[in-house]
Amino acid sequence: MLVWRRRLIVNPAVAGAITCYAVAFAGVEGISYPFWWVAAEPLLIPMAVIGAVLVIVIRDATVVIAYFVGALGVIGWLQLTEGNQDLELWVTSSPMFFVAAIMLPEPLTSPATRIPRILYGVLVGALTYCQQNVEITDSYSLEFTPEIALGFGCVFALLVRLLTRTARRVPLAEPRAESLAENTFGVYAPSVGRAPAFRPGQWATLSVPRWSRPVWQSSRRVFSFVSAPYTDPVEFAFTTSGEPSPFKRDLIAGSVPRAYIDNRGGGFVLSPRLIARHRVVLVAGGIGITPFISMLRALRAAGNDLSNLTVVHVIRAESRAVYAEVLDDAAAAGARVERVVSPTGTLPDGTALRADGTALRAEGTHYFVSGAPQFVRATTSQIRRADTTTRLRPWRVHTDTFAGY
């Protein structure tokens, strides 16, 4: 019941809590209703601090904020319509912070794209605090407790994956790594069965499960797709700095017999309609070029006109240049392509303007920035200084941060 087509669909902790709830309701002797031990006032501040740290580490505050909006919105509505709502009691005596920061963002059983994640967070928050009982039979009613709300959230996430055709865990046979440039490797893996569906620019959670290596010991990493959707072999790329991690070392050595794509998602995508209507500037730092290569391959395969597109790739040295053939093909299709060598790995001031002055002056230009966190921050700041209209329209600047793995 927890797994469908090799894919985890219900968080095991949530499934266990729901099972205890059902067994206790059935009156089985010795089984009591589950309670959340973290829902205690002495643990409020430690849980809030731990939760804040986790949200900063995973860099995903959206779903947490959505959860609080749903929860506090429902509590506020009940106060207006029925009264007798004690917000302090709800905060100190319910697992609000624990659910928001630890249970809710679990990646394998939550949606992987922005809008569904927002809806997922609001749904779980609202159901948790709606204080409703649904009568199922004369002797059984369903109370929306936190575990029940999380269970509904898992079902919602499964429906989203079914609708977006990303519910299947995709096996990959004998992934191999090849050197692309200095300290840069491409990973090529034929899919077992159908090639995976995704949108160009999205990421995948790649796992190499082994009995001798648990999940938390380097058996799962996140990479951006380099290949276009529905193509084989599936392609990723990564860089190494110093001693590679065990995960990367095994891929380089060719000692991985099979890998799996456990999850696919992300909102860093370039719509063909956007590039048809607006100027678009893609700025990548180092290995941050990978989502753009997937975009360019998909656009070229569909025969799109690239005359509205500018690509700027910042590398530390010429020896780090990759995917020249894809960039040259994009240039032949009308895109403006510039490779910038910067020993510091940052975009020199004014380079974005030199790369495409008309793009920066064009109304409605969209900017996509991909790379290490410091590169993304610095480049985004440059863009906002060069194109001041983005300060009032921040949605025109899209970012994808490679935190390192």
Distance CA 186, CA 290 (A): 10
Q: What is the largest CA-CA distance in the chain?
A: 75
Mean per-residue pLDDT, 171-190: 91
Which residue among 232, 265, 298 closes a domain? 265
At 386, which CATH number?
Answer: 3.40.50.80
Strands (E), 219-335: 220-224, 234-239, 258-265, 280-285, 309-315
Q: Are residues 279 and 356 in the same domain?
A: yes
DSSP character string of 339-402: EEE-TTSSPPTTHHHHH-HHHHHSTT-EEEEEESHHHHHHHHHHHHHH-THHHH-GGGEEEEE-
242-258 pLDDT, tens digit per residue, is 788 888 888 888 888 88
pLDDT of 129 above 90: no
102: DSSP letter: I
If DSSP codes are grouped into helix, strand and coil, which group holds residue 193? coil
Q: Please determine, for residue 355, whether its predicted confidence score (pLDDT) is greater than 50.
A: no
Q: Which among 222, 245, 265 is the end of a domain?
A: 265
Q: What is the pLDDT of residues 112-123, one digit of tens each?
A: 888 999 999 999
Are residues 181 and 215 located together in one domain of the fold? yes
In this structure, the answer to whether residues 42 and 190 fall within a common structural domain is: no
Q: What is the mean pLDDT of residues 123-129?
A: 92
Least confident of 94-98, 322-326, 382-386: 94-98
267-314 residue pLDDT tens: 899 988 899 889 999 999 999 999 999 999 999 999 998 999 999 999
Positive/negative CA dihedral, 176, 4, 166, 202: negative
Token pair in block for residue 398: 């899209």
| Mean pLDDT for the chain overall | 84
Is the same domain home to 175 and 131?
Answer: no
Check whether residue 246 and residue 362 sit in a common domain. no
* CA-based nearest residue to 12, from 144, 113, 129, 103: 103
Beta bridge partners of 234: 189
Q: Sheet holding 220-224: strands in order across?
A: 170-173, 258-265, 203-207, 220-224
pLDDT value at 324 more than 90: yes
pLDDT > 60? residue 360: no
The distance in angstroms from the start CA to the end CA of the chain is 32
- Would you state the torsion angle of the CA atoms of residues 179, 185, 188, 189, taken in this order, to the nearest 10 degrees? 130
> Which residue pairs from 18-27 have beta carbons closer than 8 angstroms and sit at least 24 positions apart in sequence?
18/147, 18/148, 18/151, 21/145, 21/147, 21/148, 25/140
Domain boundary among 235, 250, 265: 265
How far apart (Å, rounded) are the C-alpha atoms in residues 312 and 150? 43
Q: Does residue 294 sit in the same domain as residue 354?
A: yes
Q: Could you please report the per-residue DSSP string of 228-248? A: PTT-SSEEEEEE--SSPPHHH
In the chain, how many domains are there?
A: 3
Q: What is the pLDDT of residues 201-242, one digit of tens each?
A: 999 989 887 655 554 456 788 899 999 999 999 999 999 887
Whether residue 234 is found in the same domain as residue 306: no
Residues 133 and 8 in one domain: yes
- What pLDDT score was predicted for residue 367? 94
Q: Indicate whether 349 and 258 sit together in one domain.
A: no
Residue type, 168: R
User: Which residue carries 């936190």 as its tokens?
Assistant: 146
- Do residues 235 and 198 share a domain? yes
Asked whether residue 11 falls in the same domain as residue 131, the answer is: yes
Residues 158 and 11 in one domain: yes
| pLDDT value of residue 6 | 65
Residue 101 CB contacts under 8 Å (≥ 6 apart), including other chains: 47, 50, 51, 52, 54, 55, 64
Distance CA 239, CA 186 (A): 9
Domain encompassing residue 224: 170-265
